[in-house]
Structure 1
């Protein structure tokens, strides 16, 4: 052993304590957690303050930085607080001081700040050396009577001073200003409330101790946020008050302003704790990314008078839809209520009633201790006044006794022996000045004695009667309300449930146009006036150079569609999600709506609203360009991902041509580009899964390909409409297409060649249907199908659309403009029948 090694006591090994590491860490962590919970992060239920806030206010009180004093540098206040009471760093203290001065954070700020104390844009406060502060008037109500032994004090961190463990709190600050904080394993989030409502509820609780939370809600309507705004519905508030936990939906206040050409949505109040600049930034990001359509401009016009965010809409934008999407993503927030506070030093989740009960119990203790303190002082003063009055009655003898005494002590003893004064009375009489022996002074002493006697009697009444003590609490609460109450800021609006865009968009027939360059738009169908057969139509879309129309289909804005692509994928699409644009507009990028790959085009559209995804006898019958046919039960398409799912497997070079809905008892007609058609029973094709390729449906010759598929119901009185790429077409009675076995060559449907070109589409139509045809160059025509004559098979047909040289018909769609009227009439008839029953 080294000679430098100190000698160790013989019993050093006996003093070493062996402990388990896990037990030591567990206990240390619990100690740390309780220190954070009780000493830093959670408010006391009695005054609603965390230790740092309480210490800041008490340090200002001790330094005389009250509402009546001049402002003091914040750095001075922070220094006093840190040096005397809160040794945890200046930044934490200053952050707490700043929050108490922010009128957008506190319902009633406790600090009157001067300088930059931050903003709703999230701007930080200026450095503490630049700002000044003093106590707000309402903060003094928290410290009223603290010098009258109303609360307990404890030694500060270095035992030089004492600090209050809680403030007297003349109003329920925890509910009025709320609190938030994260401790270890728990957090608190108490919303702010209206001062007048909380005080009225407290008084009601005092008068009716057996009242319920629902009774108290007659007074406390709900949170009252400093930034105003709205609360959606009352049920969530009720749950939060009854259980101590809940989620309150907050909504911004906004209105629609009419402009010369367009409308604007103007936001004037924000949800609590909403960062205004980040809100504007997120809206701008969504507009740029295409998530928010219909917004032309976004401006923050806020000033010292309040918030004003202007969302200017495009001329053709649907205001209700933009408003709804703003609500979904930006203008609504949820406030998670957790009424967790310290009760007797222990964290506890409290109901509204329990919070008020704890406060009332605290005020009873404060008023009792204050009354005892005042009573002791009054009794001491009465005792002195009794001595003075007795001395005045025998003033000559008292003066002689004092004059004959050798010194003050002897005079006191003589007074005690001669006149039976107590020590305190004798001390006071000896210190009396001769001027106090006048008759006027005597009258004043008698009046003061009467006042003190009456005060003693009143204090004894308060201490001797629970009801008198409660009346004092109620009276003081009313005084605070009269002084500081203001109007409620946060309003309630009814919860109308989830409003979808579909609820806000009028149901109407539209034409959806999609180009090879992945531009998409929808246009109201009535934009295109019905024309006679053979017209050129009008411009339906403005295409970029080199782009062409690939798909056009008719639908209702409320339709939910299954969109099948040439690559065998199927996507879902809600028609109202496609932006509505003018007839000549190019459209918006389709990638924001449909996740199509390069070269992928929509080849068929099926309205999902008409499908029963649980039906066993409902199928989607698909046809490929190479003549394959497949039937799949609709149940396999009930859950389609946003990225699409496989509808059919295709061989290399093959594409999906068309899709029809069949019911297990239909016939299927396949039509080819070279004008051939084959009709066969759909049951010739057995049902298969989505990943199957299908079976041969048509034997194609040469380079012929399938153009489309049509479903024919038994006794179907419709006709088969065939349209070619150069704008010719015809209708043919279905009876002319005899049934064959699948995989045959079929019969001639329409003559193709130099005049007609290849077949573009075929479909079954009724006499009251409308046809919409669009060329690759963007020309569009709408006409009643009964304008197209009925011809037999193997004919050339008539001109349907006058297509310019170099242009071709890209797509044809059929819809019934009276379908909605028929449904409305059916609903009315059903309602009338039910009413009769």
Structure 2
């Protein structure tokens, strides 16, 4: 009796799962380089060809096609098959639709298509071109799911549909995101490869250029980034909406969006605007501890941005526009700002810039699902096309040979018709007699017996000789085609060019390098008005317009028991850095604060303090540096960039956990060559150049001064070289003290 071990079970599960994943990858989720289709798409188009549907035929009900597909070739759910058919008919989903639909096939706004019993379909001219070689032996046929019928292994075609329409799919451990391209660009790229198999990736991309999406838009990456993504088969590109400025009277203007990114519709933009406009952050009161709802910072940012910058936004797409079009009008609050700066904020805040993934994963002639570079995809398709033409040519040669064989037999007996008739009349088995008398084979003899009397005229002999001459000439040309790589390449190129002329059109997606925009740069679109912020001990921020002094402090806005901590003069378009007593850094946008006459804005509606208290705040500026130090004599230099964060919960910056009772003692802006002054509660004093302090973000820093066991730092200050500062009083060193300092050990300098 055999034993079944854990190792055997592990191997069995591994092999079974690998088999399953391979079937999913190659049988459902990923498209094939050969025809750019998954099995469901191939079965749909083949079923339509068997129903004799063409671009010029009448429409047939979608339900009829779906029924044939699931009954004969694709035994899956009708909903899945119909969804695949609908997508093949949507001009905003495919760059070159393969199905011509009549009825409601959905919309770019996300509306679903009508039921299959209501819609009708037929093929497009491009599909007719793809299906035209099915009956000439270009591809192999395989049994269907139950072995009663056959289906083509691939659909032949003179154009690489994989690159024309792209493909997406998610399988087991793999995914595909192949973008669509312009037919002229693809034809030029393939032709360039055929002419020079050693062409490099950059040479191919000179012809292909980049994606050409069905909904247009603008790819803002530089050409080198695009080329690298296509070389490696993986990358990310950025697609931005296209817009134009409409001039109005009295110097006014507005923005007209003419194209949106591929994954965005006008209704989605308006829905996001509506959601943000009515959003209110959750209230703190009445909530159980640990169950407080956190405010949605993105919605808060968008709400304040719309309030301060956008007067109106609406969809102007009409029924007369082509399917999948997207047009919107955006009117600014003020026409005094620059349209380019205004749109920089709009693009970021309204999500009018999206990421286009490039993942050239497909199954190819090696039958392996894997990621490929653009050159490999083109090479594999050319190899498949060469094989298709060879199969087609061999099939035609076989038919020519059969026909020539019959013609030779007829010409053999054409001058001996009387004798043939006599043999037929006098013998019970005339076939054997004819074969023996005229040296014919069985096919030739059978053909002669089936000749009609009117085909025995002298005129028919001339026709047979003329047909033979043409067939012999065609036979020689086809044999030369099979034996010559150059002739085969010319044939592929010629057929590509013929097909391209039928379907070529202008590029829809503009490729033009632009700077990427993120939400952190949007503050530049807010008016740069001076403001003053008062931070209170209970983490409230009271904001007022203008730069005000202590005499203008809004005391009436303080809550009972609260008091002012410090104030900050800044501008509305600046970012504010905050350091909490816990050592965590936060960032807020002043445009998100309330500037009314109320109690101000509690910081917990903007960031998650989680019991932290504000110790310090300053206006963010690139390149600024600060000294952070605590009362146990440790500190470090931190750059303003290391304090900046998009996280609402902030980020750890200064660790204060090593010593008991450790507290931040100083956050000082640092300049070049300044002296750091430290004094302790034991009346000890130390001075050295602040340049000796290193940068240690997210740590407790370096030891700045050696302290006794019961000693603490009382204060830190910065002063110019040659002076010292203690308790805010600066004094000039005398000559004897400077000499003494020069002779002191290095650590005390």
Does the C-alpha gap of structure 1 residues 454 and 715 become closer, same or farther in structure 2, counting only changes over 3 Å? closer
Contact (CA 8 Å) 1:612, 1:634: kept in 2 or not? Answer: no
Q: What is the alpha-carbon distance in structure 2 between the residues aligned to residue 600 and residue 24 of structure 1?
A: 55
Q: What is the alpha-carbon distance in structure 1 between the residues aligned to residue 599 and residue 253 of structure 2?
A: 21
Give 1:61 deviation, angstroms.
Answer: 1.2
Contact (CA 8 Å) 1:231, 1:492: kept in 2 or not? Answer: yes
Match of 1:197 among 185, 203, 206: 185
Mapped pair 1:285 → 2:275: yes
Deviation by residue 1:768-792 (Cα, 9 ceiling, x = unmatched)? xxxxxxxxxxxxxxxxxxxxxxxxx
Paired position in structure 2 for 1:332? 353
Does the C-alpha gap of structure 1 residues 63 and 197 become closer, same or farther in structure 2, counting only changes over 3 Å? same
SS at match of 2:121: strand
Paired position in structure 1 for 2:225? 236
Q: What is the alpha-carbon distance in structure 2 between the residues aligned to residue 167 and residue 189 of structure 1?
A: 21
Q: What is the alpha-carbon distance in structure 2 between the residues aligned to residue 152 and residue 599 of structure 1?
A: 71
Paired position in structure 1 for 2:521? 501
Q: What is the alpha-carbon distance in structure 2 between the residues aligned to residue 88 and residue 410 of structure 1?
A: 55
Q: What is the alpha-carbon distance in structure 2 between the residues aligned to residue 158 and residue 604 of structure 1?
A: 75
Does the C-alpha gap of structure 1 residues 506 and 166 become closer, same or farther in structure 2, counting only changes over 3 Å? closer
Give 1:584 deviation, angstroms.
Answer: 10
Does the C-alpha gap of structure 1 residues 65 and 687 become closer, same or farther in structure 2, counting only changes over 3 Å? same
Does the C-alpha gap of structure 1 residues 85 and 368 become closer, same or farther in structure 2, counting only changes over 3 Å? same
Give 1:552 deviation, angstroms.
Answer: 7.2
Does the C-alpha gap of structure 1 residues 687 and 78 become closer, same or farther in structure 2, counting only changes over 3 Å? same
Deviation by residue 1:18-77 (Cα, 9 ceiling, x = unmatched)? 894323322221221122122111212211111111111111111212223211111111
Paired position in structure 2 for 1:463? 482
Contact (CA 8 Å) 2:185, 2:209: kept in 1 or not? Answer: yes
Does the C-alpha gap of structure 1 residues 112 and 407 become closer, same or farther in structure 2, counting only changes over 3 Å? farther
Does the C-alpha gap of structure 1 residues 204 and 578 become closer, same or farther in structure 2, counting only changes over 3 Å? same
Give 1:444 deviation, angstroms.
Answer: 3.3
Give 1:507 deviation, angstroms.
Answer: 10
Contact (CA 8 Å) 1:606, 1:660: kept in 2 or not? Answer: no
SS at match of 1:219: helix
Paired position in structure 1 for 2:747? none
Deviation by residue 1:139-190 (Cα, 9 ceiling, x = unmatched)? 1222222222222222111111111212223211111111111111112221
Deviation by residue 1:447-487 (Cα, 9 ceiling, x = unmatched)? 32222222112111112222212221111111111111111
Ranges in structure 1 where 5+ consecutive residues have no aligned partner: 1-12, 529-535, 622-628, 650-655, 669-680, 698-708, 717-733, 740-837
Mapped pair 1:269 → 2:259: yes
Contact (CA 8 Å) 1:619, 1:664: kept in 2 or not? Answer: no
Give 1:361 deviation, angstroms.
Answer: 0.9
Mapped pair 1:446 → 2:465: yes
SS at match of 1:218: helix
Give 1:578 deviation, angstroms.
Answer: 3.0
Give 1:86 deviation, angstroms.
Answer: 0.9
Contact (CA 8 Å) 1:509, 1:554: kept in 2 or not? Answer: no
Contact (CA 8 Å) 2:624, 2:639: kept in 1 or not? Answer: no
Contact (CA 8 Å) 2:168, 2:175: kept in 1 or not? Answer: yes
Match of 1:255 among 222, 244, 248: 244
Give 1:423 deviation, angstroms.
Answer: 3.2
Paired position in structure 1 for 2:454? 435
Deviation by residue 1:182-216 (Cα, 9 ceiling, x = unmatched)? 11111222111111111221121111111111111
Paired position in structure 1 for 2:699? none
Give 1:80 deviation, angstroms.
Answer: 0.7
TM-score normalised according to structure 1 size: 0.66
- The structure, 1 or 2, with the larger RCO (C-alpha pairs under 8 Å, 6+ apart) is 2
Mapped pair 1:297 → 2:302: no
Deviation by residue 1:475-526 (Cα, 9 ceiling, x = unmatched)? 1111111111111111112143557638956997734466999564656x8x
Match of 2:32 among 14, 27, 44: 44
Does the C-alpha gap of structure 1 residues 221 and 598 become closer, same or farther in structure 2, counting only changes over 3 Å? closer
Identify the range of structure 1 (447-456 vs 205-214) with the bigger mean alpha-carbon deviation.
Answer: 447-456
- Taking the TM superposition and a 5 Å limit, the aligned residue runs for 1:685-764 are none
Match of 1:208 among 196, 219, 231: 196
Contact (CA 8 Å) 1:300, 1:309: kept in 2 or not? Answer: yes
Paired position in structure 2 for 1:578? 590
Paired position in structure 1 for 2:740? none
Q: What is the alpha-carbon distance in structure 2 between the residues aligned to residue 597 and residue 377 of structure 1?
A: 83
Mapped pair 1:365 → 2:353: no
Give 1:573 deviation, angstroms.
Answer: 5.8
Give 1:637 deviation, angstroms.
Answer: 8.6
SS at match of 1:189: strand
Contact (CA 8 Å) 2:259, 2:326: kept in 1 or not? Answer: yes
Give 1:564 deviation, angstroms.
Answer: 8.3
**RMSD over equivalenced CA pairs, Å:** 4.9
Give 1:598 deviation, angstroms.
Answer: 14
Does the C-alpha gap of structure 1 residues 387 and 97 become closer, same or farther in structure 2, counting only changes over 3 Å? same
Give 1:217 deviation, angstroms.
Answer: 0.9
Contact (CA 8 Å) 1:110, 1:136: kept in 2 or not? Answer: yes
Q: What is the alpha-carbon distance in structure 1 between the residues aligned to residue 559 and residue 4 of structure 2?
A: 87
TM-score normalised according to structure 2 size: 0.73
Paired position in structure 2 for 1:811? none
Paired position in structure 1 for 2:404? 382
Paired position in structure 1 for 2:126? 138
Does the C-alpha gap of structure 1 residues 607 and 98 become closer, same or farther in structure 2, counting only changes over 3 Å? closer
Flag the structure with larger Rg: 1
Give 1:436 deviation, angstroms.
Answer: 2.9
Q: What is the alpha-carbon distance in structure 1 between the residues aligned to residue 653 and residue 409 of structure 2?
A: 106
Contact (CA 8 Å) 2:167, 2:176: kept in 1 or not? Answer: yes
Mapped pair 1:117 → 2:132: no
Contact (CA 8 Å) 2:36, 2:162: kept in 1 or not? Answer: yes
SS at match of 1:75: helix
Paired position in structure 2 for 1:818? none
Match of 1:92 among 64, 77, 80: 80
Give 1:370 deviation, angstroms.
Answer: 0.9
Paired position in structure 2 for 1:347? 369
Give 1:126 deviation, angstroms.
Answer: 1.6
Give 1:372 deviation, angstroms.
Answer: 1.0
Identify the range of structure 1 (506-515 vs 304-313) with the bigger mean alpha-carbon deviation.
Answer: 506-515
Q: What is the alpha-carbon distance in structure 1 between the residues aligned to residue 183 and residue 621 of structure 2?
A: 53
Ranges in structure 2 where 5+ consecutive residues have no aligned partner: 280-298, 657-663, 680-684, 688-703, 732-749
Does the C-alpha gap of structure 1 residues 585 and 448 become closer, same or farther in structure 2, counting only changes over 3 Å? farther
Match of 1:106 among 68, 75, 94: 94
Does the C-alpha gap of structure 1 residues 696 and 211 become closer, same or farther in structure 2, counting only changes over 3 Å? closer
Q: What is the alpha-carbon distance in structure 2 between the residues aligned to residue 54 and residue 581 of structure 1?
A: 57
- Taking the TM superposition and a 5 Å limit, the aligned residue runs for 1:632-651 are 635=637, 639-640=642-643
Q: What is the alpha-carbon distance in structure 2 between the residues aligned to residue 596 and residue 445 of structure 1?
A: 92
Q: What is the alpha-carbon distance in structure 2 between the residues aligned to residue 300 and residue 507 of structure 1?
A: 27
Q: What is the alpha-carbon distance in structure 2 between the residues aligned to residue 441 and residue 738 of structure 1?
A: 123
Paired position in structure 2 for 1:66? 54
Deviation by residue 1:734-774 (Cα, 9 ceiling, x = unmatched)? 9xx999xxxxxxxxxxxxxxxxxxxxxxxxxxxxxxxxxxx
Does the C-alpha gap of structure 1 residues 611 and 372 become closer, same or farther in structure 2, counting only changes over 3 Å? closer
Does the C-alpha gap of structure 1 residues 508 and 31 become closer, same or farther in structure 2, counting only changes over 3 Å? closer
Q: What is the alpha-carbon distance in structure 2 between the residues aligned to residue 353 and residue 188 of structure 1?
A: 17
Does the C-alpha gap of structure 1 residues 273 and 116 become closer, same or farther in structure 2, counting only changes over 3 Å? same
Contact (CA 8 Å) 1:193, 1:223: kept in 2 or not? Answer: yes
Does the C-alpha gap of structure 1 residues 236 and 284 become closer, same or farther in structure 2, counting only changes over 3 Å? farther
Q: What is the alpha-carbon distance in structure 1 between the residues aligned to residue 116 and residue 408 of structure 2?
A: 55
Does the C-alpha gap of structure 1 residues 313 and 439 become closer, same or farther in structure 2, counting only changes over 3 Å? same
Q: What is the alpha-carbon distance in structure 1 between the residues aligned to residue 148 and residue 609 of structure 2?
A: 76
Does the C-alpha gap of structure 1 residues 382 and 320 become closer, same or farther in structure 2, counting only changes over 3 Å? same
- Taking the TM superposition and a 5 Å limit, the aligned residue runs for 1:476-515 are 476-496=495-515, 501=521, 504=524, 510-512=530-532
Does the C-alpha gap of structure 1 residues 496 and 564 become closer, same or farther in structure 2, counting only changes over 3 Å? closer
Does the C-alpha gap of structure 1 residues 107 and 599 become closer, same or farther in structure 2, counting only changes over 3 Å? closer
Contact (CA 8 Å) 1:520, 1:587: kept in 2 or not? Answer: no
